[in-house]
Amino acid sequence: MNASVKSARVQSLFQEIFASATQSASESLRGWTSGQISLELDDVHELPMEEVTSQLEVGEEMLTIIALTLEGELGGQIILTFDEENGRQLAATLLNRELNLEGDWSALEISALKETGNILACAYVHTISELIGKNLIPSPPHFIQDFGASVLQQAVMAQAMTSDRVLVCRTTFLRGKEALDWRVFFVPDHALLSEIHATVQSAS
């Protein structure tokens, strides 16, 4: 893979870029949730394709997912996942309502989650866009309820076209100091990964 993370130095620079993007997303998310929710970058993984879902602990359970696609020459996927309770809890908090775990999701609840994904993704992508000096265009957010592994596999498909290994970033969401069972995955496609790699190489 041309754009693979080849050395500890390059790995460290990759980590810096994605940590910076995560920091921007965290600040935006704190603003959106009145300071309640933040996020931290755990690590940048390069994994064999067949191990993606098991290594990232995205299993067979049904998840609530907000997915955005980067459109244009440089592509990728940003996927925000919640289990049912955490997704409902976030919507209830944002809408200042009592938590209700019964029944279908209302249009308002879906809209609140979509906006969360939109705010997080735009901040994240904007930082990477500035670092690499290229325009990145996120799509409108999609609300999906599906098996987590199905969605993550689709997200890594663009990398799977050209490589048997895929690069993904994993983060932890926090309410205060308490880790939440939310996850966000950023999966750049090969072209974007090459641009990030070129930026890293010129900086190293």
Partner 1 sequence: MTQALASKKEPLVGMGQVVMVGRADLSRAVLGSCVGLVLYHARLGIGSLAHIVLPSSEGRQGPPGKFADTALPFMLKSLADQYANRSGLVAKLAGGANMFGGQGPIQIGHSNAEAIRAGLEDVRIPIVGEHLGGNKGRRVTFETESGDLHVEIVGEPTATI
> For binding to partner 1 (CB under 8 A), which residues are involved?
49-54, 60, 62, 67, 69, 75-77, 139, 142, 144-147, 149-151, 153-158, 160-161, 164, 189
| Inter-residue long-range contacts of 2-7, CB under 8 Å, 24+ positions, other chains counted | 2/194, 2/197, 3/167, 3/190, 3/193, 3/194, 3/196, 3/197, 4/46, 4/163, 4/165, 4/167, 5/44, 5/46, 5/167
Least Å distance, CB 71 to partner 1, is: 8
Q: Which is nearer to partner 1, 122 or 156 (CB)?
A: 156
Q: Which is nearer to partner 1, 69 or 116 (CB)?
A: 69
Q: Which is nearer to partner 1, 77 or 127 (CB)?
A: 77
Least Å distance, CB 60 to partner 1, is: 5
Contact between 156 and 46 under an 8 Å Cβ cutoff? The reply is no
Q: Which is nearer to partner 1, 40 or 73 (CB)?
A: 73
Q: Which is nearer to partner 1, 31 or 48 (CB)?
A: 48
Least Å distance, CB 195 to partner 1, is: 16
User: What is each CA distance from 107 to 16, 41, 110, 112, in whole angstroms?
Assistant: 38, 31, 5, 9
Least Å distance, CB 197 to partner 1, is: 19
Least Å distance, CB 58 to partner 1, is: 9
Least Å distance, CB 202 to partner 1, is: 27
Q: Which is nearer to partner 1, 85 or 146 (CB)?
A: 146
